[in-house]
């Protein structure tokens, strides 16, 4: 199993000190975090995209190009590109260029996002998000794999004989992963032949095997020649003892999640009641991979036993945590958790 290192770039104040760094400092901290990936054995760097909020990474392609220049082998993914907010032609150009300058390492993870107010700011109808994403996916693939493209759709002007430049290095095109949180959305991704990415915070853990099974069945039924691929994304915190990890998350995870849920549903954070899959940190089905190294190995192992997982994406820089605690968790994960799931001879 491969491992990815994921950031969404939230810019929260430390709930202990009340201090918040400048945006420039936070961007540098994100780069330091991403710089850790390749030396520690993470195969992929994944950078999210948000708009008009205290998630301050809005153009992940820039961060990925920086990583590409510093590390010659790590893969470069967006987690996720909010496809409905973009012209697919420009995205096709962006990621074809990233693929070229990185020597064929770009991946595009797409999703609809979870903040309806962002659609209003882009002048879009959030109820049409699925249709916008599906149309965008179709056009991305055609632009990367065809020349002299003639195309008519609903959400952008027609194309008449367009050939995308540059052409991507990876054939037939850079890998595309679709963010899915239900068997229905997973079925669509599988039928289209794309990869699946699922976030454990989005649904109860018992749902994950059903999501993956629906994806694999649809992928197989469509008769694609290439292999399916499943990535699972998790919030992670590793500490020397499980209790220390639980105490840490009580400070940094719970206020952060209340803030996130409030943004999604238009609530005051004080009104948010978090679901047990987030708050019951010592429960076997907790969505957060937390605890001592042995406990985190056990938690990830149960996910791997329940369904196919090709890549596990670690997200650990959330909620205003100070860098030394983020770095300690990363070190423990890289040295004491990852080697359990990697073949002999693969460096941790």
Give the whole-number percent of the chain exceeding pLDDT 90: 94
How confident is the model over 43-62, as pLDDT tens digits? 999 999 999 989 999 999 99
User: Is residue 115 very low, low, confident or very high in pLDDT (cuts 50, 70, 90)?
Assistant: confident
pLDDT score of 205: 92
pLDDT score of 334: 97
Question: What is the rounded CA–CA span in Å between residue 272 and residue 279?
Answer: 12
pLDDT score of 344: 56
Number of other residues whose CB lies within 10 A of the CB of residue 292: 19
What residues form DSSP beta bridges with 6? 46, 315
How confident is the model over 195-243, as pLDDT tens digits? 999 999 999 999 999 999 999 999 999 999 999 999 999 999 999 999 9
Query: For 9-22, what is the mean pLDDT?
Result: 95
Residue bearing tokens 């670690």: 314
Query: For 5-28, what is the mean pLDDT?
Result: 95
Three-state DSSP class for 230? strand
Cα 312 vs. chain centroid, distance in angstroms?
10
**106, containing H or E segment:** strand 106-111
Mean pLDDT computed over every residue of the chain? 95
Three-state DSSP class for 290? strand
Residue 174: which of 318, 311, 78, 85 has the closest Cα? 78
How many Cα neighbours within 13 Å face the side chain of 47? 24
Query: 124 pLDDT exceeds 50?
Result: yes
Query: 348 pLDDT exceeds 50?
Result: no
pLDDT score of 215: 98
Query: 330 pLDDT exceeds 60?
Result: yes
Question: Is pTM, for the whole model, over 0.75?
Answer: yes
Query: 345 pLDDT exceeds 60?
Result: no
pLDDT score of 29: 94
How confident is the model over 274-318, as pLDDT tens digits? 999 999 999 988 999 999 999 999 999 999 999 999 999 999 999
Q: What domains are defined for the chain?
A: 2-249+282-341 (3.20.20.30)
CB distance 76 to 99 below 8 Å: no
């Amino acid at each position: 199993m491969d491992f990815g290192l994921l950031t969404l770039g939230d810019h929260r104040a430390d709930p202990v000190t009340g201090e918040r760094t400048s945006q420039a400092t936070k961007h540098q901290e994100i780069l330091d975090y991403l710089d850790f990936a390749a030396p520690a054995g993470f195969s992929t760097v994944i950078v999210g995209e948000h708009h008009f909020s205290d998630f301050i990474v809005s153009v992940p392609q820039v961060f990925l190009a920086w990583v590409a220049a510093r590390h010659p082998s790590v893969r470069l993914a967006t987690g996720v590109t909010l496809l409905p907010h973009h012209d697919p032609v420009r995205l096709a150009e962006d990621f074809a260029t990233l693929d070229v300058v990185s020597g064929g390492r770009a991946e595009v993870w797409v999703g609809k996002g979870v903040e309806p107010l962002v659609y209003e700011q882009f002048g879009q109808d959030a109820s049409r998000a699925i249709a916008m994403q599906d149309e965008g996916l179709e056009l991305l693939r055609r632009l990367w794999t065809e020349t002299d493209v003639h195309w008519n759709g609903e959400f952008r002007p027609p194309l008449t004989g367009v050939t995308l430049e540059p052409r991507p290095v990876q054939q037939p095109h850079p890998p595309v992963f679709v963010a899915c949180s239900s068997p229905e959305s997973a079925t669509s991704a599988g039928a289209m032949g794309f990869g699946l990415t699922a976030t454990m915070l989005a649904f109860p853990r018992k749902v994950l095997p059903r999501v993956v099974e629906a994806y694999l069945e649809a992928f197989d039924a469509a008769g694609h020649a290439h292999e399916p691929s499943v990535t699972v994304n998790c919030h992670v915190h590793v500490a020397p003892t499980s209790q220390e990890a639980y105490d840490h998350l009580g400070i940094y995870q719970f206020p952060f999640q209340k803030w996130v849920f409030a943004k999604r549903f238009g609530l005051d954070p004080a009104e948010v009641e978090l679901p047990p899959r987030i708050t019951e940190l010592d429960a076997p089905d907790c969505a957060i991979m937390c605890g001592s190294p042995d406990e985190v190995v056990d938690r990830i192992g149960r996910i791997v036993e329940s369904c196919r997982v090709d890549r596990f994406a670690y997200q650990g820089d959330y909620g205003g945590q100070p860098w030394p605690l983020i770095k300690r968790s990363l070190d423990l994960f890289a040295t004491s958790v990852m080697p359990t799931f990697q073949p002999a001879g693969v460096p941790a």
